[in-house]
Structure 1
Amino acid sequence: MHHRPITLLSLLLGAAHSIAARPTFQDERSSSSSISLSASVPDDAALPVLHPFVSFSIEFAFFPDFAGNLTHPNLFSNHLLDNLAELQGAKSYIRVGGNTQDFALYDPNLRAATNATYITSISTDYPLILSFGPAFFESYFTWPDTKFIHGFNLGKNSSTDIELMLESVPVACKALEGGKLAYWELGNEPDLYKTSAQGIRRPANWTEQDYVNEWLNKTARIEKRLVEACPELADSKYIAPSFAGVTNSLNPVVTWEKGLDNSRNIALNSEHNYIGGATQPGVTLQNTLMNHTKTVESVAQQVNVSRRAWTVQFIRGCTLGVDFNLYCASQNIRRTHMHQGSNYNYISWQPVGTNRTSIGTKAPYYGNAMVAAMLHGGDDVRIVNLPLAADTEAAYAAYVNDSLVRVAVINLVEFNYTSTDSIAEKVESRPSAKYTFQLPSSGSVYSDSVSVQRLIANGSNAITGITWDGWSYNYELAQGKPVRLQNVTIGEAISVGDDGVVEIEIPYSSAAILSL
């Protein structure tokens, strides 16, 4: 996975699509249109999301940082995962993989969890030489009630490298027995093996058929080791192909057509998404990250590819942001795994203190919390995009068991609260937008008010003081456990008009959920 810049308001990353309305702004730009809501799930709605939906991907080399070990489990990380489990109803699935998955070689004699060497002329973000030993697998025992996706190395391809990968299979399966295994994964972003700046892994003439043949051969050899060591996991499934995109050196549609799932051992079609890179010309907070249209365009390519994956459901890796995740949910992307790594710019939390980054909860985590709350409801939660007019806004409806239960509204207008000499004055004068919703008029009974939960910070460039529904998850307060702040409004309710109309004001760079 390649790094992408995520600032504080990446928790409001953009995208939307489907019903019609324009908000009323406090700065006098107004419209009387309202967003009509359907009492039951529209015919063109996406399938229910997988439960849990909000999940994570953790860079292989840094998994011991995030999870700890049997002697020193990372309680902070577990508290944060427990918070999301409380909100969405199930604990996040954890993928252990990423770029370093394809650098990692098993060393049965290594006493430490990992032995890492950085080649700073190529990357300072993660090690390019990596060994892991039996102690690495202690990290799979530190987070109760958690299911994992363990990534095997496909990138290194010598006979010795392959044998070391196979030697790790019994150790991995023993660690993941007893219901901890969700899926396996073999290889990370193989569509970049011929072109990667971190090192070329395959010759220029390596084709989709070559990849498929290699994948089928190696998964068969893994299965043989599973039969010997963990027979109850012998028929366990994979996520694949875990491509970096849809326009790289391997075509995902051709890959499926060449028989990637001939062994019928792929449970989920896994693809990765990048909205924009730090060195990519023209990338800005407002026009790229906090932009609904950009999100729609970014997701659309992979949704089109996923329709060609036939029998496999679709999940998405490396995504961040409320709007991004909810738009994915509205487009038949059944689960998202947001990528994490120690010292990465866009992470939801920094699991340990380093000489580069202090331990702590980061802004994207609060967006994760809002998405989790929006998707609460078990195995039949469906998200419908409510199309709005501007790039800087999005709205979604959540249906549980075919009934409308929640609406999310996201304002993506960049609000930089440090752009004036007086921060207090700037925050006080923060603009807001008014959104109007028309509740269903027939066959539905709603109360005379709706409750409101808000995702709020001082602005799009704030790095502290962020809350979801008045809760802080800061490490400094209770090591990630929820703490209700006294200076934040909670228990807000909005009256429903006699005509079934609800109006809500959303400050710039914030979001809210209305529970009906």
Structure 2
Amino acid sequence: VSISPSARSSGAKGISNVVSPSYTGFGIEPSNVFSFTGFEQPNEFSLTLMRNLANYSGAPGWLRLGGNTGDYFLYDPNFQEFRMDTNKNPTGQGNIPTDLYYIGPAYFKAIERFLEDTPITVGLNLAYNFVDWQQRITDMAQAAVDGLSNTKLVSFEIGNEPDLYGQNGFRKPSYGGPDYVQEWLDRANVVYNKVLAPGGFPKAFFEPAATASTIGTSFLIDVLVENGILQPNQSSSAVGSTDGFVSAWNQHDYFYFISVSPMELTMDYLAKFTSTETQFKHWSQEIGDTLKDHPDIPYHLREMASVGPVGQVGISDTFAATIWTLNFFLYSATLNIASVQMHMTDNSFASPWQPMSHPEKATEPHVRPSYYAFAAFTQLLGHCNGTTQIAPVSVNDAPSGYGEYLRAYGVYSANQLTAIVVLNSKLALASDPSPPSIDIQLSFPDNPGRPAYLSYLTAAGADTQSSADTNWNGFIFSDVDGTLIPADPPVGSTPNRDAVVGTDSTLSVSLRDSEAVIVS
């Protein structure tokens, strides 16, 4: 196998824009915020795991506080407890009432426990549609503005997955994109004039939610634009004006969604990189078209995971999902997605860690293997000091049966090739006494004699479910307190090592099945 990236970003085909140090973030379901932040006392386990990643990349990851339950919440300034309160007499419309829960000032006090300057996107309830909706939505927006000072409020998301409003009873069955655009503009206008403008915030501070999963609806971005989502206000005809409310596009996707995705979910299906590329084909086209038509409006993937809605045991919580996650961060960056928030709930096997005890799942707090993909990617970002660009690189002469399982990327800093990432997702199980490996010749053009270091993301096998049997660059993360612990890689994995690029500007590396390496 040979991999030959360009020596400079200017010659790299498909090179990304500069990737933000906050690129890899999390979406936390609003009803689960306290599970991750802690209730009366901070959840130091979660906070340490987030701090690890910020230390690697140089900046906190972007957090989106949104999801289905965001459209069930109202704000009550008199409710002071560190939890959400259930409305005993809800009257809101919907299969789940739009006023089912209340939160108070403690909600934002808990969020303030996150790292300083953590970029925060806060979801606002669009589903609630009674006569007092203006007061309700501005109460929540004002509470966010007033309550978030250590962290950094950077945008509001108005509504969660409105293309599903017709089927979940929030609106009439015929509810479509034009209806949504009008309601979205009405609410953006009210929140801007009553909350943001008096506080000195910009007008472009809102993210419209595009279609969730029902491709071909009137909620696609180009259709939302046709219906006026970019208008400065609901009475203007200046479509595309830079004086509008839209700060970014807000897309959701899951690689696989239980009871929705038609194919059978297996570990091998997840492991095949071609599965992700096929599933994401529509979105990759939309991203390209949207950024071409609106280059000044970033495109964020605000809700993503390997399996939705709450993962799949034996798949989402395995090392196979770790390789998938690292590849997805690299792949999505080459599409010029501005950031990716992997969605987290306290009962999801796809969450990178279990934040608290969960009786229904019979589990205690622990780190899942997928967290190690965050560690590897954020350390890569930090290595490039805020100038990271990523490009896909062809894998030449792949052995028979490996074409769907091998991917490579060139990583650039200040225009220079600084690292090569190679991922081998072909399944090797922990029970395999001698898993296969492949030899790879890497080219570092114009760099003969260059020192290199081989950092491996590895585990006992693709089916590994424990942090203790997973390893990134010679470290594991404690299930007790989330800290880094030096540890030897599992038996059968490839050791991290120093190396030197040869006089012919090539370097030979070995990569076991179910393993990834970053050569820097």
Do both proteins adopt the same fold according to a TM-score greater than 0.5, normalized to the shorter chain? yes
Return the letter of the residue paired with 2:265.
T
Q: Which residue of 101, 120, 129 corresponds with 1:157? A: 129
**Cα distance between partner residues in 1 of 2:136 and 2:452:** 58
Q: Does 1:185 find its partner at 2:171?
A: no
Structure 1 residues 369 and 300, CA gap change in structure 2 (3 angstroms): same
Asked whether the 8 Å contact 2:22–2:59 carries over to 1, the reply is: yes
Asked whether the 8 Å contact 1:173–1:233 carries over to 2, the reply is: no
Q: Which residue of 449, 460, 463 corresponds with 2:462? A: 460
Q: State the secondary structure of the residue aligned to 2:358.
A: coil
Structure 1 residues 286 and 343, CA gap change in structure 2 (3 angstroms): closer
**Cα distance between partner residues in 2 of 1:503 and 1:67:** 45
Aligned to 1:5: none
Asked whether the 8 Å contact 1:245–1:271 carries over to 2, the reply is: no
**Cα distance between partner residues in 2 of 1:504 and 1:308:** 38
**Cα distance between partner residues in 1 of 2:460 and 2:265:** 20
Asked whether the 8 Å contact 1:169–1:226 carries over to 2, the reply is: yes
Aligned to 1:347: 351
**Cα distance between partner residues in 2 of 1:179 and 1:114:** 21
Aligned to 2:236: none
Aligned to 1:265: 245
Give the Å deviation of 1:259. Answer: 1.8
Asked whether the 8 Å contact 1:100–1:128 carries over to 2, the reply is: no
Asked whether the 8 Å contact 1:319–1:325 carries over to 2, the reply is: no
Return the letter of the residue paired with 1:93.
W
Asked whether the 8 Å contact 1:226–1:234 carries over to 2, the reply is: no
User: Deviations along 1:339-387, whole A, 9 cap, x unmatched?
Assistant: 1111112001111112123111111111111121222324321110113
**Cα distance between partner residues in 2 of 1:78 and 1:236:** 30
In the TM superposition, 1:340-489 aligns within 5 A as: 340-355=344-359, 356=361, 357-376=363-382, 377-388=384-395, 390-417=403-430, 423=431, 426=432, 428-440=433-445, 444-464=446-466, 465-476=469-480, 479-486=481-488
Give the Å deviation of 1:407. Answer: 0.9
**Cα distance between partner residues in 1 of 2:449 and 2:163:** 52
Return the letter of the residue paired with 1:132.
I
Q: TM-score, normalised by structure 2?
A: 0.82
**Cα distance between partner residues in 1 of 2:37 and 2:170:** 30
User: Deviations along 1:45-83, whole A, 9 cap, x unmatched?
Assistant: 2212233211111001101111125x4112111111111
Q: How many residues align?
A: 460
* Cα-Cα RMSD: 2.6
In the TM superposition, 1:244-393 aligns within 5 A as: 244-245=212-213, 247=215, 249-252=217-220, 253-263=222-232, 264-279=244-259, 280-309=261-290, 310=294, 311-317=296-302, 318-319=304-305, 321-355=325-359, 356=361, 357-376=363-382, 377-388=384-395, 390-393=403-406
Q: Does 1:64 find its partner at 2:44?
A: no
Aligned to 2:16: 46
Asked whether the 8 Å contact 2:35–2:356 carries over to 1, the reply is: yes
Q: Does 1:114 find its partner at 2:84?
A: yes
Q: Does 1:504 find its partner at 2:475?
A: no
Give the Å deviation of 1:149. Answer: 0.9
Q: Which runs of 5+ in 1 are unaligned?
A: 1-22, 24-33, 119-126, 418-422
**Cα distance between partner residues in 2 of 1:446 and 1:139:** 52
Give the Å deviation of 1:486. Answer: 4.4
**Cα distance between partner residues in 2 of 1:434 and 1:185:** 47
Give the Å deviation of 1:214. Answer: 0.7
Aligned to 1:237: 205
Q: Which residue of 21, 37, 40 corresponds with 2:5? A: 37
Q: Does 1:493 find its partner at 2:498?
A: yes
Q: State the secondary structure of the residue aligned to 2:51.
A: helix
Q: State the secondary structure of the residue aligned to 2:439.
A: strand
Give the Å deviation of 1:43. Answer: 5.1
Aligned to 1:4: none
Q: Which moved more, 1:174-183 or 1:430-439?
A: 174-183
**Cα distance between partner residues in 1 of 2:6 and 2:288:** 26
Asked whether the 8 Å contact 1:101–1:153 carries over to 2, the reply is: yes
**Cα distance between partner residues in 1 of 2:123 and 2:394:** 37
Give the Å deviation of 1:179. Answer: 5.9
